[in-house]
Structure 1
């Protein structure tokens, strides 16, 4: 079963400006490359091996959900991926056996600026309340560079968690159980804040599922209405006294938390 976050996707309308802004936020940003579908990306690779994919599209891709959300709702978080625990094929078989509909394996590739081809395979659920699964075909170090590029001026070292907006908490909890083979470590309503919460722990990382239960949770309700289910916010490990200016994050909710 998938057991760690591979990457988190932020779709933007202006990739060059997003690169400059994320550098201003204190991240080391690397050029990624171009995909056959007409998108290009940049990467923020963290010391724990997870990374941010900042992606933009040079032309419409009507059948692709990331482009559709970007086109309709603007820049922001659109998805996230987990690494398979064993192989994509094994995890795909177990996920389907558990009753989860998921498409794949799907071949993916991009060309780096120097012409190097990077390839991977993925499995993607039609409904993005749960993440997709991604497995490398070419060496992982090509897709996820190592070394000093993983150090960031803002002190961020890794992904602490992803908060996911869902419409039906009970249904999504069941789907996460099936996908990860794990039980939630916490579950219930958050008094006074108007939302329900369930959390799954993947090693150091926490996946938090949130369901709006009253008008008090305006930001979550607005997100679900505009962007649909899926990634809502990201927490990073790092110096908790540092703030990440949301005005520079191109619609993504980002925060730094101290590792306990």
Structure 2
């Protein structure tokens, strides 16, 4: 199975406040639970296309975590995003055979509020321009709820585009081409119903600000939804640039 977009990670200072704000924006928010070790807990905004937003908060400082360091230095907002492989170990082998530098697999998991325990594996590159990989060891429906959880009052049905800030677009494009096994020359990549689009500093002030404040990685997300295009209130999204209006 080819890689697909899995989720976007947004670090927040106060998870309960973030849940209230995202609900006020018309999203259905599902408490996720506590991660193994108890350092973080999360909530999910899951869409009909199977992608989701992860709102994650730290219960205590974690200097070894890049996500915590970004939150501590730059404040709330995007810290990462993930692609889903059929098998994490096999995906690492394929990617690194094409010249990449993924490390892992690393075991992870969390306990849901209802007591269900789920497990997954991840893999990461030391560089932040490419996403991490996240694959389930327990049924994906335990991690990514189905049914009513995927319906939202604002009618968002999925993630149409993830815009990724990169420092050297030529180098990052080659890394994405290797990761996704695509032809050379691309800076935009289609994964199912979602597009990953690379943007350099010269692309505009938003990209430059993102690179200066948060380093490489996602800087904007465009949803698939009816109605006019609009950017959601940054105070309500806790620093994440989220756009409606991409039906």
TM-score between both structures, scaled by the size of structure 1: 0.90
- State the Cα distance separating 1:114 from its structure 2 match: 2.0
1:74 maps to which residue? 75
8 Å CA contact 2:222, 2:246 repeated in 1: no
8 Å CA contact 1:43, 1:53 repeated in 2: yes
1:254 maps to which residue? 242
- The answer to whether the aligner puts 1:233 opposite 2:214 as a matched pair is no
1:94 maps to which residue? 94
- State the Cα distance separating 1:239 from its structure 2 match: 1.3
Q: How does 1:16-165 map to 2 (within 5 A)?
A: 16-37=16-37, 38-84=39-85, 86-165=86-165
2:89 aligns to what SS in structure 1? Answer: helix
Distance in 1 of aligned mates of 2:200 and 2:81: 18
Post-superposition Cα deviations, 1:158-208, rounded to whole Å, max 9, x if no partner, equal 110100000000000000000001237x86xxxxxxxxxx21111221100
1:213 aligns to what SS in structure 2? Answer: helix
2:226 aligns to what SS in structure 1? Answer: coil
1:210 maps to which residue? 199
8 Å CA contact 1:118, 1:142 repeated in 2: yes
Distance in 1 of aligned mates of 2:103 and 2:246: 37
Gaps of 5+ in 2: none
Alignment RMSD (CA, Å) = 1.5
Distance in 2 of aligned mates of 1:211 and 1:116: 42
Distance in 1 of aligned mates of 2:130 and 2:23: 29
Q: How does 1:154-193 map to 2 (within 5 A)?
A: 154-183=154-183
Distance in 2 of aligned mates of 1:242 and 1:19: 23
1:200 maps to which residue? 189
Distance in 2 of aligned mates of 1:35 and 1:201: 31
1:126 aligns to what SS in structure 2? Answer: coil
Kindly report structure 1 stretches of 4+ aligned residues shifted beyond 2 Å. Answer: 242-247
- State the Cα distance separating 1:226 from its structure 2 match: 1.2
Q: Quick one: structure 1 residues 223 and 16, their matched pair in 2 at CA, closer, same or farther if it must change by over 3 Å? A: same
- State the Cα distance separating 1:3 from its structure 2 match: 2.7
TM-score between both structures, scaled by the size of structure 2: 0.95
8 Å CA contact 1:163, 1:234 repeated in 2: yes
Post-superposition Cα deviations, 1:14-58, rounded to whole Å, max 9, x if no partner, equal 111100000011000000000124100000010011111000001
Distance in 2 of aligned mates of 1:138 and 1:164: 30
Distance in 2 of aligned mates of 1:39 and 1:151: 26
Q: Quick one: structure 1 residues 207 and 157, their matched pair in 2 at CA, closer, same or farther if it must change by over 3 Å? A: same
- State the Cα distance separating 1:2 from its structure 2 match: 4.4
2:60 aligns to what SS in structure 1? Answer: coil
Post-superposition Cα deviations, 1:112-147, rounded to whole Å, max 9, x if no partner, equal 112211110011111111001111011111000100
